Amino acid sequence: MSLETIEQQLHKHVYYLADEIGERNVLHPEALQAAEDYISQNWLKQGYTVEKQQYQEEGVGCANIEVNHQGSSQPEQIILIGAHYDSVTGSPGANDNGSGVAALLELSRLLRSSATQMSIRFVAFTNEEPPFFFRDRQGSRIYATNARQRGDNIRLMIALETMGYYSNEPNSQSYPPLFRFFYPNRANFISMVSNFGSRKLMHKMARAFRRSTEFPLEHVATFSFIPGVAWSDHLSFWVNRYKAMMITDTAFYRYPWYHTAKDTAEKLDYARLAQVCDGLYKAVVMLANENF
């Protein structure tokens, strides 16, 4: 699949979520439903069987949406790739997290025709943003808790979070204290982030990504209390004793319009996001065909 086609698909998804639907959360239930429908319809068109984990939140019907790519020789072992489709109050959520949802939809499309030994599960989570963040009612927390209770053998969870903004300008990238001494000051890379318990698998994923693309990558395994490190759906899987990591452009450490009304679709770099998606697709295929 050409990078141009991937770029076009990403552009289409983000513009629909951010410009056509706009702010989507329990305060805007029709928009949240429209986003759920859009994701489901795309997965049906890709040939998947769509399953939903439905529940009520503040009187609003909510759903985590799931599709599965069945593995051949080790189908019970799962790599789960997820992204939240709600947006924070007051924002159309193009980068946070329209970019992550677009990448999720594109990865599922690319992986549809690829043979893997392990199963790949794609999940679009609802209710990641406040007031649900860090709470038991967060969509991914409900999902991960149920997965642990079922005994799902999720070997690695990958959260796609705020992935679409890049810059070559000096000092366009910021960091928590001390990190700036070890990482570049230009916001031209994608990052992989994990806690110490998930470090080995994150490093394995990073190596696979670097074999798949020349796109710049930085990665870190560090303390979860550092601001931003646990700020997505991978935290729900850490809480439930799964290995998990986040893939992100670093969000508020580089994106000037993070959690604002100006987080709109024209701000994103779809050509570079396409390179990231192509590299992730190839890396996930590698990982799903290895024993780990």
Span 205-261, pLDDT tens digits: 999 999 999 999 999 999 999 999 999 999 999 999 999 999 999 999 999 999 999
The pLDDT of residue 1 is above 80 = no
pTM > 0.95: yes or no: yes
Tell me if 91 sits within 8 A of 134, measured CB to CB.
no
Mean of pLDDT values over 19-36: 97
Mean of pLDDT values over 109-137: 95
Query: What are φ and ψ of residue 115, in 5° steps?
Result: -85, 130
Mean of pLDDT values over 156-170: 98
Q: According to the model, what pLDDT value does residue 57 have?
A: 92
Residue type, position 36, single letter: E
Q: What is the dihedral of CA 115, 108, 289, 284, to 10 degrees?
A: 150
Q: Rounded to a whole number, what is the largest CA-CA distance in the chain?
A: 48
Q: Name which residue leads in pLDDT, 257 or 1.
A: 257
The pLDDT of residue 291 is above 90 = no
- Nearest in space to 95 (alpha carbons), one of 276, 256, 263: 263
* Beta-ladder partners of 119: 78
Share of the chain above pLDDT 90, in %: 95
Tell me if 167 sits within 8 A of 188, measured CB to CB.
yes
Mean pLDDT rounded to a whole number for the chain: 97
Mean of pLDDT values over 4-10: 97
- CB proximity list for 262: less than 8 A, separation 6 or greater: none
Q: Residue 191 belongs to what H/E stretch?
A: strand 190-194
Q: Which CATH superfamily is domain 3-288 in?
A: Zn peptidases (3.40.630.10)
Q: According to the model, what pLDDT value does residue 135 have?
A: 87
